[in-house]
Structure 1
Amino acid sequence: MRTTRRDLIRIGALAAAAATLPGFAANPAPVARAGKPLRILILGGTGFTGPFQVAYALARGHQVTLFNRGKRPSPEWPGEVEQLHGDRNAGDLSALKGRTWDVCIDNPTSLPFWVRDAGQVLAGNVGHYLFISTISVYADGSRPGITEDAPLAAYKGADAMAETQQTLMADIENLYGALKALSEAEARKQFGDAVTIVRPGYIVGPRDETDRFTYWPHRVAQGGEVLVPGDGKDPIQVIDGRDLGEWMIRLAEARTFGTFNAVGPREPLLMDAMLEASKRVTGSAASFTHVSPAFVEEKQIELPIWVPRDQGPYGGYGQVSNARAVAAGLTFRPLDTTISELLAWLASQPAERQAKLRAGISREKEAELLKAWHALPKPAA
């Protein structure tokens, strides 16, 4: 089955619940010190992108405080990090009271009342609030070139402030984007103009526990005939979690306010180009068999990342404009680097983790589908 808006928003909502990985490798490249050290509060910080924010902030000479429930074992930080604990579900932010920071980065929030409660404690005590949102806030994902000024999803429930994680998960298709949009509005209400809204799409690279992007280079590395949806010309937008996390620290340093689509790469990336990069990095001799979107739909094939560019209301999700973010300093490491370091990270995980990816189809299912595709009558050349 092709990726749908429901898949996109479900994965985005669950990203905050991804398990923390044991150990942490700091960015090996030298990082210049910032001109002015900041006191940075990170809400969350131990999930996917948070550790990259922490490592980069420390390398830049900033002081870092984390606030979370303390349910996950923290990575080995490459420097001193203050840890504060509380439970935003229960409204327990007492550890933040009476404290001041230059910057607050809010990573895991999908509920407006979380932003409201944070504002009630932090407004006036932080000089800059950065909120990670999502491209799922847009009301219409069908058109390419979606900018930050496009209309947002409308909330149709009774009371947005009464929504909880339980109610969100029970109706995620209708609630996720709308509640993120209302969370953005609440951020501006609580913190005024000193707000930065960052809207990523697919976040990929080392530490990615979803395996959405990982499926493709991992599958290509295995070689053989690879089933590929579409004609290879469908656009794909991904951003390395390190590029996202490090850019957010630079936004904080520059006090850059506003709203930004944090999608990559800088230039358009098509499905076949991503697959060829995977071949190049892995040295694989894999071959690619393209199957039609109609075949994918008929056989209900669950393949991640791919969104057909010209079918249904989801094609725009691979064609969101990142011009504003690029102008604000968002940079992208080479796709080959992301692929190679992602596979290296996966190879460092326990054998049982590597044995069964959490997205994509099995080799057995793929072989069955390829046989069915090849058995179909093909139009005469």
Structure 2
Amino acid sequence: MTTTRRDLFKLGALAAAAAALPSFASAASEAKPVGKAAKPLTILILGGTGFTGPFQVDYALKRGHKVTLFNRGKRPSPEWPSEVEQLHGDRNTGDLGALKGRKWDVCIDNPTSLPFWVRDAGKVLKGNVGHYLFISTISVYADGSKPGITETSALAQYKGKDAMAETQESLRADIGGLYGPLKALSEAEAHKQFGKNVTIVRPGYIVGPRDETDRFTYWPHRVAQGGEILVPGDGTDPVQIIDGRDLGEWMIRLAEAKTTGVFNACGPDYTLSMDAMLHGCQAVTGGGMTLTHVTPKFLEEQQVGLPIWVPSKDSEYAGYGSVSNQRAIAAGLTFRPLATTVQDLLAWFRSLPAERQAKLNAGITREKEAELLKAWHARKG
């Protein structure tokens, strides 16, 4: 099926998104000034140089907090002001000596996927931090087939021999089977080590500037190129994304409010369909495009997957496109307009070296897309 922009408005499920389309092009704007927090905090960020960490640091500094980073020191990071303290160690080897004998109001744990990382951090930090915030994932849920996953849904179960013996190497070797269960056990270990003063944040797809995965970037980049675009599904499948800045800044506000509990950090705060997302991208990038929808069965036969999209029909993963975020919204999670995310993401992406832009880390090439479109049209005859 080929869908044009006019066809979008015929789909009842897109009514809310369609109403917002006229404002998309002008929604992106300069960031608003950030006020100071009522009480400055001392914040330890484990990691801090990856995707969301720098956003946490930047926002925390603007709010008047003192920030300490702890990581291996091997990844390039922004040039922070001199007041940002940087400590180095290696959680893989248990080298946390730089944290011993220190106290912080808050610890934000960004990179952990292994339970022993939380255990070892607890040995050093227990009693020395007042609040522990852990970035988890919606992959902790056992069953992604049912829409409306909430924070109380059953979690994935670890089936290995010794979770504390798992390493980054074993995780990479079997990421589909270990990632969710090990994250779930890391959550449990956080509660074991830090008691009631724990916040668990479970994001889905994190997108926006600094996203090196290109999972979401593939779509606005492709829309900007125009022409006939191969789109999975019928256009109504729900899409959930969260800008890394929204996630990072919200975690600082959770720390300020001493908010504990478990939260699904998925966005936006309305139902966003695949087609609405693509037309939102087009409103920012301009140019013409034609959407050609192909069935999940066709993609399965062609052994092709496309990023961000999860089919809502005939798929065991349907629920991961409709995770409940009501608890997080009630706790103050807010979302930038889609236009802002798309505009800023493309500006960042286009600032990268030409060779990096030429080969995305997700999605399909234009040549592969043309091949698939040809096969689809031949089948439809």
After TM superposition, give the deviation of residue 78 of structure 1 in Å: 5.1
Residue identity opposite 1:368 in structure 2: E
CA distance in 2: counterparts of 1:142 and 1:75, whole angstroms: 40
2:260 corresponds to: 257
1:184 corresponds to: 187
Residue identity opposite 1:334 in structure 2: P
Q: 1:346 aligns with which of 325, 338, 349?
A: 349
Q: 1:159 aligns with which of 162, 165, 171?
A: 162
Task: Give structure 1 stretches of 5+ with no counterpart.
Answer: 1-26
SS in 2 for 1:66: strand
TM-score, normalization by structure 2: 0.91
Does 2:103 match 1:100?
yes
Q: 1:282 aligns with which of 282, 285, 292?
A: 285
Does 2:360 match 1:357?
yes
CA distance in 2: counterparts of 1:327 and 1:177, whole angstroms: 25
Q: 1:311 aligns with which of 306, 311, 314?
A: 314
2:113 corresponds to: 110
CA distance in 2: counterparts of 1:41 and 1:246, whole angstroms: 15
TM-score, normalization by structure 1: 0.91
After TM superposition, give the deviation of residue 147 of structure 1 in Å: 0.3
1:354-378 residue CA offsets vs partner (Å, 9 max, x unmatched): 1111111111111111111111135
Task: Give structure 1 regions of 4+ aligned residues with deviation exceeding 4 angstroms.
Answer: none
Task: Give structure 2 stretches of 5+ with no counterpart.
Answer: 1-29
After TM superposition, give the deviation of residue 79 of structure 1 in Å: 6.0
SS in 1 for 2:293: strand
After TM superposition, the structure 1 = structure 2 runs for residues 1-381 of structure 1, keeping only pairs within 5 Å, are 28-77=31-80, 80-377=83-380
CA distance in 2: counterparts of 1:67 and 1:103, whole angstroms: 13
Residue identity opposite 1:166 in structure 2: E
Instruction: Please report the RMSD computed on the Cα atoms of aligned residues, expressed in angstroms.
Output: 1.0
SS in 2 for 1:225: strand
Residue identity opposite 1:147 in structure 2: T
CA distance in 2: counterparts of 1:116 and 1:274, whole angstroms: 40
CA distance in 2: counterparts of 1:53 and 1:272, whole angstroms: 31
CA distance in 2: counterparts of 1:261 and 1:52, whole angstroms: 19
Name whichever of 306-315 and 318-327 sits farther off.
306-315
Q: 1:262 to 1:79 in 2, by over 3 A?
A: farther
CA distance in 2: counterparts of 1:42 and 1:142, whole angstroms: 34
After TM superposition, give the deviation of residue 159 of structure 1 in Å: 1.0
After TM superposition, give the deviation of residue 41 of structure 1 in Å: 0.1
Name whichever of 160-169 and 138-147 sits farther off.
160-169
Residue identity opposite 2:32 in structure 1: A
CA distance in 1: counterparts of 2:204 and 2:380, whole angstroms: 38
Residue identity opposite 1:184 in structure 2: E
Kindly indicate whether the alpha-carbon contact (under 8 Å) linking 1:240 and 1:332 is maintained by their aligned counterparts in 2.
yes
CA distance in 2: counterparts of 1:175 and 1:73, whole angstroms: 28
1:238-278 residue CA offsets vs partner (Å, 9 max, x unmatched): 00000000000000000000000000001010000000001
